[in-house]
Amino acid sequence: MEDFYTKEEQKEIDLQLRELINSCQKCKNAENEKLIIKAFKLADRAHKGVRRKSGEPYIFHPIAVARIAAREIGLGTKGVVAALLHDVVEDTDYTVEDIERMFNPKIASIVDGLTKLEGIFLQSESVQIENFRKLLLSMVEDVRVILIKLADRLHNMRTLDSMPENKRLKIAGETLYFYAPLAHRLGLYAIKTELEDLSFKYEHPGIYKEISKKVVAGSLKQLNQINEFAEPIKERLADEGYEFEIKGRPKSIYSIWTKMQKKDLPFEEIYDLLAIRIVFKPLPGMNEKTQCWAIYSMITDIYKPKPDRLRDWISVPKANGYEALHATFMSSSGNWVEVQIRSVRMDEIAEKGFAAHWKYKENRDKESELDNWLKKIRELLENPDDDSIEFLDDFKLNLFASEIVVFTPKGDKITLPNGATALDFAFEIHTDLGYRCIGAKVNYKLVPLSHKLKTGDQVEILTSKKQKPKWEWFDFVTTAKAKTRIKQAFRKERKKFIRKGEKILESYLNEKKLAINSKILKKLQHHYNVKNKEELYFNIGKGIIDLKNASKVLSDKPYNKWVRYWKLSFGKGKDQDKAAPKVDKKKTLLLTDDKEQHNYTIANCCNPIPGDDVIAYQDDDDQLVLHSRKCKTAIKLMSSHGDRIVPAQWESQKILSYIALIKITGIDSLGIVSKLTKVISDDQNVNMRSIHIDSHDGIFEGSIYLYIHHTRDLNNLILKLMKIKGIHTVIRQERLNE
């Protein structure tokens, strides 16, 4: 075992250890260095003989994680030591007690928080989400747990190439759904951006390469434009006596793609690709906020600003502590350029998030923001009745990417997610205030509970002692706290109705000589549009669902007009009941026209068609459901049930047709419909199923259902339709109307 490493590997390990110690700014004394070396030796001994999928010694991973924690997040000695030991308890024979004995209780506690749960889980439970829950519980006690976990996830994403595709999809999915928003919430913008780009790279490799090529191709031109734009600003700042740095801020691949999707724009029309960041050292005698506005004013003397693109996060910082002034200016070459203005302190906090706040302890507000957020997470974790998926959804509400800031009648600041209502505000102040809320005054104007708030609103809650929580409040509250408190108010009543509903259903099925099982429950859940069996029992018990028509539902085969089975039956269906062969999740599922394939269901939430990037999800009945990789449901499934994900890929499709829906808008003119239908009927690869056009005030909107074989046929048709005079937009809608 002594000769496990080659000479080159041993040399590289020694070099990386030295780089780790040098990169830790808070480890610059002999005692701290000794502790790090001790942790390294233990990790090296524990992982000796183990190699990663890439073939390199496993010890490279904990060293890399510790280096990210030190250099890119800014953790100190305890954080670095815990990072070196983060896999020791999980993957080797060492225990938490061993770590505590050799180091100290705090380091042992952090390592324990980073160790995944073991044991047997029911199939309906998600091991991934239960591990997230444990991780968050540990984070509430010590935020370094999640910071080290983010460093661990970042290194895993950087080295994901060596993993099989089904594992890549699982890891990329949970990274995009859980870890990237978490990094954003903690103010780790550089890590959040890299996690998003790497996830996107593995989920949509083709699109990632295409956008990357365009970014690289335009980078030289953009660099010249940025230098030209920045030159007069540099001269002005130098004249004013500032020490500063101006650098280009490249737009991430993922953010470009999401903007293209959201606004339905081609790459060339994403106008804010050009961006610079000004980081300045404050002049003595003036506060940072005043100097940010002074620099903004200097730039307006040179370039014209875009008023609706001014973002002031220095007067009211984001909940994660981010401070900066963002503005967009028109350059002399006719391009919009985004400018971010930050002090050195603001820049460090923007790059290292809450870890950097420890360096600025005199600023108490920033630490209290973290405490407030952790308090919300603690409250969420204290609700034991939530199922795993519901818990993850509620937690996501606390990772809001965009926020609003509203004020109490006394002027106190309250931060809420964008879309929050007056009732959310009431629960944020106090649970009893939420329970007794009957309305609100927003900016002195009376509004209902469901009124959506905007940044700057001043909110006064109106209450009544007679008011009681209502179940329909769920329809418009958005915060996890409000949802949790409403659930708690109805917990006893809900359990009573669930038990009643289960007895009613059991009695009904007994009359039909049937017993409750997963297939029957799934049919009923699908028909009555409820997400789980508890919701089904609750609605039956409360009388919302009447079982009079259930016999027809139970006798029918599950069918949805937008759901299609891959396997076609051309005879009497004699092999319909054959059990589908076991699927090898490590191999890519090839989707062909071959009717002898297993049954594959097309998900109606995203309606993927040949040519789309897809994954398959194996449900409780071992049926495979195809989702588009960019579908929100698919991303959630990859993050919560990654072990059920199967990579899938379309092959040539010439026989089977699939329904696609396109939405069209344009100028209403004589003969426009006949022009549309002629272009479609002349296309040999597409058939029209139906067309619906509405016209009003000289503008028309249309929906066209088509039968197609491949996305390239649909894209070609869209290009042809766009050439018709008067057509403004032609967009594929992935969710089909019912």
Helix axis angle, 364-381 relative to 127-141, nearest 10°? 140
Active-site residue flag, 91: yes
Helix axis angle, 344-352 relative to 189-203, nearest 10°? 40
Backbone angles phi, psi at 602, to 5 degrees: -85, 120
CB neighbourhood size of 622 (10 A): 13
Q: Round the CA-based radius of gyration of the chain to a whole number and report it.
A: 29
Active-site residue flag, 428: no
Contacts of 385 (CB under 8 A, 6+ apart): 487, 491
SS3 for 95-141, per residue?
Answer: CHHHHHHHCCHHHHHHHHHCCCCCCCCCCCCCHHHHHHHHHHHHHHH
Length of the chain: 738
Angle of CA points 505, 508, 513, to nearest 5°? 120
Exposed/middle/buried for residue 220 (C-beta within 10 Å: 0-12, 13-18, 19+): exposed
**Residue from 90, 130, 367, 403 carrying the catalytic annotation:** 90
With b for 16 or more beta-carbon neighbours within 10 A and e for fewer, the 116-145 pattern comes to eeeeeeeeeebbbbbebbbbbebbbebbbb
Q: Strands of 624-628's sheet, edge to edge?
A: 589-591, 645-650, 614-618, 624-628, 600-602
**Residue from 12, 19, 56, 91 carrying the catalytic annotation:** 91
Placement of tokens 């039968």 in the chain: 707
Contact 626, 608 (CB under 8 A): yes
SS3 for 368-387, per residue?
Answer: HHHHHHHHHHHHHHCCCCCC
Backbone angles phi, psi at 112, to 5 degrees: -60, -40
Q: Please name every residue paired with 280 in a beta bridge, in sequence order, or none if there are none.
A: 244, 343
Residue 627's nearest CA partner among 650, 601, 652 is: 601
Exposed/middle/buried for residue 504 (C-beta within 10 Å: 0-12, 13-18, 19+): middle
Residue 198 CA to residue 175 CA, distance in Å, equals 9
Count of alpha carbons within 13 Å of 557, Cβ hemisphere only? 6
Helices assigned H by DSSP within 399-479: 422-429, 431-435
Q: Which residues are catalytic?
A: 90-91
